[in-house]
Copies of this chain bind each other. A is one copy, B any other.
Amino acid sequence: MKKIIVHSPGTVANLVCGFDILGLALEEPYDIMELALLDKPKVIIHNRDAFGLPTEAEKNVAGVVLLSVMEKLQDRIGFELTIEKHIKPGSGIGSSAASAAGAAVAANHLLNNIFTTEEVVQFAMNGEKLASGVKHADNIAPCILGGVSLIRSIHPLDIISIPSPDLYVTVVHPQIEVRTADARQILRQQVLLKDAIKQWGNIAGLVAGFMKNDHDLIGRSLEDVIIEPIRSILIPGFDEIKKNCKEAGALGGGISGSGPSVFMLSKDKQTALAVETVMKEVYEKTGISYHTYVTTINKRGVEVV
């Protein structure tokens, strides 16, 4: 029985001013997925973690991805998948995308890479649809491609890899629940033109900063005047964390995905560790349980090990 193991990384979507269009992959945490090819059209799923996710293929994020691959191949094959998740569901760092993208890349690999990267992204987006009701690619794309991904358009799909310096990422995941649907619900349908102009100045600056390796420009551009002022009220301690992390030397950061995790970018490890200390201090005061990561941008994406 042909089988492989992949590591599928966490991701930060909604990269500050890049709401809905910009995401990056993390070195840590990552899920470990073992996938085997079957000669019967069925999907068998085993969980090797304590998250208790559904094992029926139709209700499992990775399962629906594999079903869509099977459908494309007219059910001539099946899959057996064992998932060991390390990215906690609901954390805001791309847990469902890791399951979906990992399954799609692993399946394509077992099938001798018959599908293009765009097709693999499309398969994986079926998993995001199950998880959040929306086929979005801002976690899927960086998870598969690694690095920083721009999703210029969803229809038609247009994904652009943005070169970036080797930045450090500090993430704090407060153990509270922010439902993606709620986080979307509270957004306003209309925004002020003057705010939108500020935002597109910042996104242009951020892309230029990444591509020029200009840390200062990245820092100046990491400002979100539209989404963050609304969503940050769902995250206890957000303003204090952001202020203190910048004082500790972080280039900037914001809400990861639709929260509750908060991330900060730093140019070196020492700063990233100082930022972690600041995050811990804030959450120790609130009494909310939390988990932190100090990691870097993963430039490889899902990888076969």
Contact = CB atoms under 8 A, between A and B. Distances in A.
A226 interface: yes
A220 interface: yes
Interface string A191-226: 111101111111111111001100001001100001
Copy tally for this chain in the complex stands at 2
A72 interface: no
A20 B196 CA distance: 11
B189 A191 contact: no
A162 B21 CA distance: 20
Interface stretch (A40-48, A58-66, A147-155, A267-275): A147-155
A251 to B, nearest CB: 15
Contacts of A206: 204
A259 interface: no
A69 interface: no
A162 B208 contact: yes
Contact of A208 (B187, B198, B202, B207): B207
Contact of A201 (B150, B189, B196): B150
Contacts of A226: 193, 196
Contacts of A21: 197, 200-201, 204
Interface string A210-253: 01100001001100001000000000000000000000000000
A145 to B, nearest CB: 14
A204 B203 contact: yes
Given A21-B200, A152-B221, A220-B152, A189 B187 contact: no
Contacts of A221: 152
Nearest to A220: B158
Q: Give me the 4 closest cross-chain CB pairs, A-B, nearest first.
A: A152-B205, A196-B196, A21-B201, A190-B190
10 contacts: A21-B201, A152-B202, A160-B205, A160-B208, A188-B193, A196-B200, A199-B200, A200-B203, A204-B207, A211-B211
Interface of A: 17-22, 150-153, 158, 160, 162, 187-194, 196-208, 211-212, 217, 220-221, 226
Given A21-B204, A211-B211, 5 more contacts: A19-B200, A150-B201, A162-B208, A187-B193, A208-B211
